Structure 1
């Protein structure tokens, strides 16, 4: 399955999923090492915080997106696209994927709200990964 990791610099997991512009895309399944399958670099107007649900987006190719934090709007947008949103305190993309499959990925704490909402979306930033072993699909 394809998993996108929101990054600051294509190396470290970013702290705000909706404003992230750089994503590493991995092909990964339970029990196998994740392999980088591509990168997504978005323009300022393409960030997921601003992107509605009605038009195609490069993120649509993945099944899971892992970020450092996310708001309720981001979570809702991802779910409507059929993408599982996950937050984490982990900063290393490969360890985050391995932790997600193992069900041991530490969820991000809800931030002290360092950003503004322009679309009426509320709070609820911490989206934990469900516990338990992940299977391949």
Structure 2
């Protein structure tokens, strides 16, 4: 399985998924310990998930990954699922503990952030 973790500091899981450009990328399975594959920084000329809000066609480097984040807005999980991305919003900040939590089915999860009446996310 391929995991991407939102990480502004490349050490811990952080939030703001829609505009995130920094991700820790791991591979892991039930039989194989998580291995850090890369510290991915999406370049400024590539779209963020927010930029692809109404676009399910333009590729994103994390299409078909399991995405772990500390914060995501309402509707993000559904939009990203169309890209083959499974999203986990969690209070866990340790990357390895979060990956093991997904694999073992016991990751602590949080609700998505609500949107304002104008449709924008309250945390942006």
Per the TM superposition, whether the score is higher than 0.5 is yes
Residue 59 of structure 1 is matched in structure 2 by 62
The answer to whether the Cα contact below 8 Å between 1:14 and 1:20 also exists between their aligned partners in 2 is no
Q: Quote the Cα distance in structure 1 between the aligned partners of 2:24 and 2:98.
A: 12
Where 1:25 maps in the other structure, the secondary structure is strand
Q: Quote the Cα distance in structure 1 between the aligned partners of 2:65 and 2:42.
A: 18
Q: Quote the Cα distance in structure 2 between the aligned partners of 1:110 and 1:53.
A: 20
Unpaired stretches in structure 1, ≥5 consecutive residues: 124-137
Q: Quote the Cα distance in structure 2 between the aligned partners of 1:69 and 1:93.
A: 15
Q: Quote the Cα distance in structure 2 between the aligned partners of 1:76 and 1:3.
A: 18
Shift of 1:39: 2.6
How many residue pairs are counted as aligned between the two chains? 120
Structure 1 runs (4+) greater than 3 angstroms displaced = 115-118, 120-123
RMSD of aligned Cα (Å) = 2.7
Where 2:84 maps in the other structure, the secondary structure is coil
Q: Quote the Cα distance in structure 2 between the aligned partners of 1:91 and 1:105.
A: 11
Q: Quote the Cα distance in structure 1 between the aligned partners of 2:18 and 2:117.
A: 10
Q: Quote the Cα distance in structure 2 between the aligned partners of 1:104 and 1:15.
A: 20
Task: Describe the shift of the 1:121–1:74 C-alpha distance in structure 2 as closer, same or farther (beyond 3 A).
Answer: farther
Q: Quote the Cα distance in structure 2 between the aligned partners of 1:72 and 1:109.
A: 8
The structure with the largest strand share of the pair is 2
Residue 14 of structure 2 is matched in structure 1 by 14
- CA deviation string 1:6-31 (max 9, x = no partner): 11111111122112110111010014
Shift of 1:73: 3.4
